[in-house]
Amino acid sequence: MIEVLPPGDPLSARNRELVGEVRAVDAPVPAAIGGAAAAFEDQQGTLGNYLPLALALLTLTTFVLLFLLTGSVVLPLKALVMNGLTLSATFGLLVLIFQDGHLEALLGFQSAGGIEATQPVVLFAIAFGLATDYGFFLLSRIKEARDNGLDERSAVAFGVERTGRIVTAAALLFCVAIGAFATSGILFIKLVGVGTALAVAIDATIIRALLVPALMALLGRWNWWAPAPLRRLHARIGLGEGAA
């Protein structure tokens, strides 16, 4: 075993480049490289390799479930776009707070000048799941009202009225609980707590209470559009209260 201690931060750009240079050396025997820089490079490579597949599966699963609920291809696409807006706003605020160092004094941390790659992945999984859950709840009530004979705008208003207080109360309770993580002395836990609370707050207020109803009211009957073959498929296997 050969031990090499490069100068400076083990995770600096130069030391990560050094890992690649050493691995590129044609050694006469099998060789493995350890240490913080090598582990970090392996982690980044794994995330880069599997993240596109994970995102594709997540998107497809969400689309299929929402299609089975609504019978529409427009509403699942809209839900995915709204989730993307929630996550984009959340990640932007996290960069402002944790990467750029704003609110250091208030939250009691020292910015490292960046966000570790696994943190957005964990936050994405939690926030996307919660946003989809709130969206599923809202759309089910809107569809229920529409199936009972209400027009498009009235159905949207009914759905928001029926779910608004519940979603807001659930989001508030969740934000209080997860927001307690912001008091942690561990930066990873602090970021997840603050980030998740921000995502839930944004989704339950700006997205679900304002953007989603407004967009559905504008789209009108186009909310429920689907190609004829998919409409027939939904009639056979769609989710509904009367399904066995």
Is 27 part of a structural domain of the chain? no
Is 78 part of a structural domain of the chain? yes
**Residue 172 sits in a domain of what CATH number?**
1.20.1640.10
Is 33 part of a structural domain of the chain? no
pLDDT digits (tens, 9 = 90+) for 91-107: 999 999 999 988 888 88
The answer on pLDDT for 242 being more than 60 is: no
Report residue 2's pLDDT band, with 50, 70 and 90 as the boundaries: confident
Is 49 part of a structural domain of the chain? no
pLDDT digits (tens, 9 = 90+) for 203-218: 999 998 899 999 998 9
Is 50 part of a structural domain of the chain? no
Long-range pairs for 46-53: beta carbons < 8 A, 24 or more residues apart: 47/117, 47/118, 47/121, 51/121
Domain enclosing residue 152, as ranges: 55-237
Average pLDDT along the chain: 87
Is 41 part of a structural domain of the chain? no
Is 15 part of a structural domain of the chain? no
Q: What's the domain count of the chain?
A: 1
Is 231 part of a structural domain of the chain? yes
Question: What is the model's pTM?
Answer: 0.83
pLDDT digits (tens, 9 = 90+) for 19-73: 777 777 777 777 788 777 788 788 888 888 898 999 999 999 999 999 999 999 9
What average pLDDT does this structure show over 153-165? Answer: 90
36 to each of 8, 9, 20, 173, 239, how far by Cα in Å?
Answer: 12, 10, 13, 38, 49
